[in-house]
Amino acid sequence: MQSSPPATSLTKDVTPPPIWAPPDPALADAGIEGEAVVATVRVLAMSLLIIAPTWNLLHHAEELIHITGFTVTLVAGLVAVFIRWWLKQGRWRPWVGFATSAFDVSMVTLALVSFLVVASPMVALNSTVTFEMYFLALVATSLRYDARICIAIGLLTIGEYGALWAFAASRYDLADPAYVLRAGPYLPVDLWTRMLLLSVATLLSVTIVRRAQRLLYLASHDRLTGLFNRAHFDRALAATLQSAARDEQPLSLAMIDVDHFKQINDAHGHVLGDRALRLVAELLALDMRRTDIVARYGGEEFVIILPGTTLDAAVVRIEALRRTVSSTPLDLGDGRTVSIAFSAGVAGLPADAEATDARGILDVADRRLLQAKRSGRGRCVGSDLPTVEAATR
């Protein structure tokens, strides 16, 4: 026990990120999978949608609208095949969801514009089948698990259709009997209703994403500390190792164990023990980059994945964290505090020959954690030399 100034015990609220914040790694992984699903469905949809334009072209080749419809659908199909191939090469980037979603709605708009040019403005504005493709595109945005995409693409869809309507109303007499005879009457209330339905579809897609975000967040986070849980850590480690090998980048992993945690529980009770774990979790997370992954491994153990970080640099960072934690006492009330310390073992690739897969790098880090404990605890070990401490204390 010591009488240094008490520290505030911070806790994490297990809630999804703000609506306009980038999704955290767990949701980003789900979004990547969703993007792949959309890419496959897009190819299948284009394969089916090309049937009707092809039949129309074969039987009414003299009509320009059928030529245009076939051309637009064919181009969309070819782009869909390219997108799926490109994603299968592992080239996903954070902007991909925005770009492919914008492509989906813009191809629908392009088809409506082509109807305006080669047929009549009312054929474009009163289209039923083509217009309804907007809703498929908006529903697909929810599979990216990113509310920003839903909002941005919803606004883009409303803007494109609204611009088409405004252009047609300013350049054509929409009440012309020739237009009405071919495509039905011009009823502004119907078009406003369509704009409203697009808005509702956008709101629905955002709601779906926010609900999915919360469920995924709860499934991948530890409820006590707010950090990632063991299940998500295992998935993230495998993916990060694969990425590091592909890009030939270093990667380090730290395994951390709170020293004498059982004594804290025995002396002060499990409630304060939980507060101690939350404080350690908060301090670990404060110094992390967005690409780093901090997880509760089990009990009083934590693990940190440090992509793009060499073993030596990781040891320096974990040692700095160890010092921060040991110098931040937990307030017991009544002016009393208790110090918290941890031991850590650090492994990394390509420095450690054994760290070629998830099991290998975990074994090395665990072995060095055990070495830190046997050497007196309260230290960070980043090598297998039994008498040499890997960090300057």
Positions marked catalytic: 300
Question: Three-class SS of residue 329?
Answer: coil
Helix, strand or coil for residue 277?
helix
SS3 sequence of 117-182: HHCCHHHHHCCCHHHHHHHHHHHHHHHHCCHHHHHHHHHHHHHHHHHHHHHHHHHCCCCCHHHHHH
Is there a contact between 106 and 41 (Cβ–Cβ < 8 Å)?
Answer: no
303's CB contacts (< 8 A; 6+ apart) are 233, 253, 254, 255, 256, 294, 295, 297, 365
DSSP 212: H
- Token match 């082509």: residue? 114
Coil, helix or strand at residue 94: coil
Q: Where are the alpha helices (DSSP H) in the chain?
A: 25-49, 51-59, 64-88, 96-118, 121-125, 129-141, 147-171, 177-183, 188-220, 230-247, 261-268, 270-286, 311-326, 358-374
